[in-house]
Amino acid sequence: MTTDPAGSRRVAITGLGVVAPAGIGAQNYWSGLLGPGATSGRSLSIEDWDPTPYFDNPKHARRADRVEQFSLAAAAEAFEQAGGFDAIGVDPGRFGTIFATGVGGLHTLEEQIQIRLEKGERRVSPFLVPMMMTNAAGAAISMRYGLQGPNETITTACAAGSHAINYAARLIKWGLVDAVATGGSESAGTTTGLAGFANMTALSTSGVSQPFGADRDGFVMGEGSSVLILEEWSRAEARGANILGEVLGGASNADAHHITAPSPGGVGAIACMRLALAEAGIEPQDVLQVNAHGTSTPLNDAAEADAIAEVFGPNAVPVVSTKGVTGHALGAAGALEAAALVLSIQHELIPPTANTTEADDGMKIDLVVGEPRPWTPGPAISNNFGFGGHNGSVLIAPAS
């Protein structure tokens, strides 16, 4: 095995799969991102979801929480786009699974607690633990495709998706693996989950996500999954893969400030973005799009806007938040937003920030609103920040 401590190996994105309220399948998802945002109340869910096409029989589907069902559906599309496991041609021991979730199988946990309270302990499902555990989705992908490399789940709240993608890319850069299935999955919109977020005043009371808008009043819960297939560049090129983009670098750090509130002025986010730029070896002026965390919460949006203006300059780079369409999918948000960046590169359009007509006064950012904005694709950064003070940034560029 050859390792590369300098991390000079390039990382290609060769497959992409998406399951989201905005659309099931990458192209349906893209169409949804270009449309108007939705007034949804407290959550945006995937309606009429049918998991059975992704399982060999309905019984196995019933033994998987929605988080796992979503992840397998997104993985199926991603592997198909990459040409399939056999076409990728990587030794199973050097094919990893680095996945993300914030909560895991909350639907299963809440359902089984209710069964225990109403019917007693003997009626609790023996599948409770494998269905609710946070590593179930990543483990299911690993087992479905026989991926025997590192199989790890990252649960850094709403930064988890970005952290997973960056860690997966680093494993390839360092020569520890040759390919990784990465991304995230989430489905936390249960009655209790929503009540908890609402009672801490994190959810929108208007039922509309308005990222960076003057009337923003909290986030709308989302759900879904996105899976990216990452490969070492020269191997992907040699097999004739359709390379969708490149992971240039990323970063992770901590505010060490407050369990839910961001550090004032976005100090932690500023440092995180600068670390990501340094790892990628590019300058702020090289970045041509920011896919912001943009949750529609007052403090987080203000801090992120300050951070973007500090790192890139006031109104210097187009900024978008897709959460007006997707809702906030917590640990899967970074994966869904990385997918949005890849699709933005493919279509040479930046989707608008739905439900917002202009950035709040005092925010010095060039927020894309109203209509999709044409752009010449170049390096773009995706940010995600999570409860606990977690910050994550990933830089993605067109294939070249």
Is 328 tagged catalytic? Answer: yes
Is 293 tagged catalytic? Answer: yes
Q: For residues 136 and 68, what is the distance between their CA atoms, to the nearest angstrom?
A: 6
Q: For residues 188 and 331, what is the distance between their CA atoms, to the nearest angstrom?
A: 10
Q: Identify which of 27, 44, 11, 10 has the alpha carbon closest to the alpha carbon of residue 339.
A: 27
Q: How many other β-carbons are positioned within 10 Å of the β-carbon of residue 260?
A: 15
Q: Select which of 158, 163, 272, 390 is catalytic.
A: 158
Instruction: Identify whether the C-beta of residue 106 lies closer than 8 Å to the C-beta of residue 329.
Output: no
Q: How many other β-carbons are positioned within 10 Å of the β-carbon of residue 87?
A: 12
Q: What single letter denotes the amino acid at residue 157?
A: A
Q: What single letter denotes the amino acid at residue 177?
A: V
Q: Select which of 107, 163, 328, 390 is catalytic.
A: 328
Q: Select which of 107, 163, 293, 390 is catalytic.
A: 293
Which burial class, exposed, middle or buried, applies to 261 when counting CB atoms under 10 A from its CB (0-12, 13-18, 19+)? middle
Instruction: Identify whether the C-beta of residue 311 lies closer than 8 Å to the C-beta of residue 381.
Output: no
Active-site residues, by number, are 158, 293, 328
